[in-house]
A and B are shown apart, each in its own frame.
Chain A
Amino acid sequence: MHRAINKTRQLRFQSTLVVAEHNNDKLTPITLSAITAANKLGGEVSCLVAGTDCAKVVAELSKVLGVNKVLVAQHDAFKGALPEELTPIILATQQQFKFTHICAGASAFGKNLLPRVAAKLDVAPISDIIEIQSPDTFVRTIYAGNALSTVKCNESVKVFTVRGTAFEPAASEGGSATSEDVASSSAVGVSEWLEQNLSKSDRPELAGAKVVVSGGRGLKSGENFQLLYDLAETMNAAVGASRAAVDAGYVPNDMQVGQTGKIVAPTIVAINKDPEAPIFLVSDFGLVADLFKVRSLPPPLLSAGSLSLMALHAALSC
């Protein structure tokens, strides 16, 4: 039997799954950057909320501009966002909806989880992208940001994590996503989340802060970091530290900025009493002054609303 074969070109629409990071109370801001990245690809954007108590986060996500659908998976096994438990639900969701792209923020959560998902799908993931040139071409940094690599991905599903500072967060109002439950299977049970020790602070969170005051080993002690905490408070800024300062024990590890810590995208203002200090070669603005004499910055600098990310790198010369 001869059949007229209709060669219909099946257009594969882009559809992206964003794996939401949250604490069962609020969405983590980097997820909003991942949603922006997803929207740049074109096509539908769905967000998966997997957790122990999802309602609040689902409500928040449903209002985010750019989200079409919220997929909800609620189960006690998702306590602590263990990758061994989250991977099966993501795979099941992928099996059901056949997304062309799967992404998450390049936070500890996303970096821990998405490569596991990618390996199960037998695809090479792309970490920490800073730019989307097309649905299959991404830019990322290598060698600690000393080079940029433009990568074309020919995998059937593109799995990637998104650098938060490279994509504006999606607007938290104006969206009206539908939501539906996705079935969770029973717990895998090979891993258990025991506890967390988060640094308690009234200061803005480092990764998403508009203004960052950072210090290095030149501060010489944890006590001297108080200078930066005081300065930061006048600017409603977060405080970051170099790896050397963390290693020396001046500050806890979650304050680390840089290649293997949190990557911030600052305008750098350096304060150093040595006019020849190397920081001045890379800073955008340099003030030759003794940090100990600069206690606070005047009000115009405090309007953080219009400030793009700014880091005040306080480097004391020896």
Chain B
Amino acid sequence: MSGRVLVGVKRVIDYAVKIRVKPDHSGVVTEGVKHSMNPFCEIAVEEAVKMKEKKLIKEVVAVSCGPQQVQETIRTALAMGADRGIHVEVSAKEYESLGPLQVSKILAALAKKEEAQLIILGKQAIDGDCNQTGQMTAALLDWPQGTFASEVTLEAGHVKVVREIDGGLETIKINTPAVLTADLRLNTPRYATLPNIMKAKKKKIANVKPADLGVELASKLQVLRVDEPPQREAGVKVESVDDLVGKLKEAGRI
């Protein structure tokens, strides 16, 4: 096994930002808004770096798809301990319709090229909330998938994954190479320290185009419009439990 782990990282609007829908309903406002690495991607990077620190794997390669700005996100992964980066260049216009199907094709092609032993992704991106890319990448490679991972144990030739499922937890054992997606409680990502941020500047980020990987970016999904959800109006204040019951009855809830 190559001992190489590919980690996908996505640049998203920072989780603490209150998003605004564009007045023309074409999307969400991203210009001039703070962006960061998707929190689930941070957890994915952390898991890969921990595997390397434990000498279970040899190299962590951070990959991101998008326009120039995603290089910041790759640098953050490098500062957390990834060894090198790959920036898959996608123009701003193409990025608007870049979705899990296209990204999974890119990651699958890179995994083959890099002879990756493992791909670790975040379970979902907090912008699209799709929760698809890991599963789709595994399918394209015909690899098994360990999604919503809350615990990962790498052993010879396979990996044991404890997964968060609806009723609790389940444990599976899957052959490597495999795709894992990180759930919230897999680990607590480290902060990039200043010395590591400086070191990261020297690490290499290669540039590659989707066409070089044989991937077409055209999408058959079309966002027709984006809207704000129906506003929750401030509710009714009640004085006592009896008052609450009365108002709930009036409103036809009970």
List chain A positions with a Cβ less than 8 A from chain B: 80, 82-84, 87, 107-109, 111-113, 115-120, 122-128, 137, 141-155, 190-199, 205, 207, 243, 246-247, 252-254, 259-260, 262, 267-270, 275, 280-289, 294, 297-298, 300-301, 303, 306-308, 310
Contact = CB atoms under 8 A, between A and B. Distances in A.
Interface of A is mostly: mixed
User: For chain B, which range describes its interface: under 10, 10 to 19, 20 to 34, or 35 or more residues?
Assistant: 35 or more
Interface of B: 13, 18-19, 21, 28, 99-101, 104, 123-124, 126-133, 135-140, 143-145, 147-148, 150, 160, 163-175, 183-185, 219-229, 232, 234-245, 247-249, 251, 253-254
A196 B248 contact: no
Contacts of B138: 116
Contacts of A246: 185
Contacts of A283: 235
A298 B168 contact: no
A80 B135 contact: no
18 contacts: A84-B145, A108-B148, A122-B101, A125-B132, A141-B229, A146-B18, A147-B229, A190-B174, A190-B175, A193-B170, A194-B160, A199-B168, A269-B244, A285-B251, A286-B236, A298-B241, A298-B242, A300-B249
A119 B166 contact: no
Given A82-B172, A115-B100, A281 B131 contact: no
A144 B144 CA distance: 28
Nearest to B99: A124
Contact of A262 (B166, B168, B183): B166
Contacts of B127: 142-143
Contact of A289 (B21, B135, B241): B241
B156 to A, nearest CB: 15
B168 A112 contact: no
B139 A297 contact: no
A317 B172 CA distance: 41
Nearest to A28: B166
Given A119-B139, A147-B227, A196-B167, 16 more contacts: A116-B136, A126-B221, A141-B229, A142-B127, A142-B226, A149-B223, A192-B173, A192-B174, A193-B170, A193-B172, A194-B171, A197-B169, A198-B167, A199-B168, A260-B124, A285-B238
